[in-house]
Amino acid sequence: MTDPVVKATALRKCYGDLCAVDGVDFEIGRGECFGLLGPNGAGKTTTVKMLTCALPVTGGDLTVEGLSVKEDPRAIKYLLGVCPQEVNLDPDFSVVKNLVVYSRYYDIPRAEAEKRAAELIARFHLHDKLERPVEDLSGGMKKRLLLARALINRPRLLVLDEPTTGLDPQSRRQIWQEVRDMKKNGLTTLLTTHYIEEAELLCDRLVIMDNGRIIEQGTPRQLIEKHLPGGGNLEDVFLKLTGKHLRDE
């Protein structure tokens, strides 16, 4: 691939004997929505944390826009918008203050931060809750606020770690629509999920991860055609490759 936004080479993260990420290689192209699909414990969040410079790598290389996570973590953080798996909004702050205070990490001037926060709050349908403390929000609203917060610095790469886990179908669809709109605007996205439907709908290409390793990669269609020429879905592909279900039925 020429000019990938992200390049991981023989990437590893080990905790003693356990390698949560055990030698993975992948590239994310510009404007692409790239998925990490795998069950609990596959190593998705560990990969995301190394990419977002929240966790040091044990071995291999990982670059964002040619910058190494080992040498340029600060420069990389400026390029990223991150929606973590755990909701880590500040419970003491209102909706709007969560966005404005967060923007300080990016040295965004106050007036500009307030303008961006107002735009994002409107776009993510949170205007009714503008001054409410975060603890008054529903689970779906908190996920929308996390997504809004991830966009405050107008990132080059958006990283979404299980953006819809635990949401009801309607809230899930709202988030999917947002991700698709951002993709139309050319934003490069890394998405982790264990929802087949989400991966099939949003991802241009994806890797299937299990036990810290990539066991297959391609477009959703390629994976299905290669492994299930008679028809099926990604869940069936995963079952065929690993002998396991992605999640409980």
Alpha-carbon distance values, 85 to 150, 165, 176, 229 (Å):
12, 8, 16, 34
User: What residues from 125 to 184 belong to the interface with ligand ATP (CB under 6 A)?
Assistant: none
What part of residues 81-100 is at the interface with Mg ion (CB under 5 A)? Answer: 85
Q: Which is it for strands 157-161 and 80-83: parallel, antiparallel or unpaired?
A: parallel
Of these partners, ligand ATP, Mg ion, none, which one is at the site of residue 202 (CB under 5 to 8 Å by kind)?
none
Report in angstroms how near the CB of residue 2 gets to Mg ion at its nearest.
Answer: 31
* Inter-residue long-range contacts of 52-55, CB under 8 Å, 24+ positions, other chains counted: 52/76, 52/77, 52/80, 52/82, 52/159, 53/77, 55/13
Partner touching 41 among ligand ATP, Mg ion, none, CB below 5 to 8 Å by kind: ligand ATP
CA-CA distance, 134 to 138, in Å (whole number)?
Answer: 9
3-class DSSP state of 97:
helix
From first CA to last CA, the distance across the chain in angstroms is: 37
Q: Which of 35, 38, 163, 220 binds ligand ATP (CB under 6 A)?
A: 38
Among 18, 71, 88, 240, binds ligand ATP (CB under 6 A): 18
Choice between 156 and 213, CB closer to ligand ATP: 213
Residue with Cβ nearer ligand ATP (43 or 81): 43
Return the axis-axis angle of helices 95-103 and 139-150, rounded to nearest 10°.
Answer: 20
Q: Can you say how many angstroms the Cα of residue 99 is from the centroid of all Cα atoms in its chain?
A: 19
Near ligand ATP by CB under 6 A: residue from 4, 43, 84, 155: 43
* Shortest Å distance, C-beta 239 to ligand ATP: 17
Which residues are near ligand ATP by CB under 6 A? 15, 18, 20, 38, 40-46, 85, 194
Given the rule CB under 5 A, which residues bind Mg ion? 44-45, 85
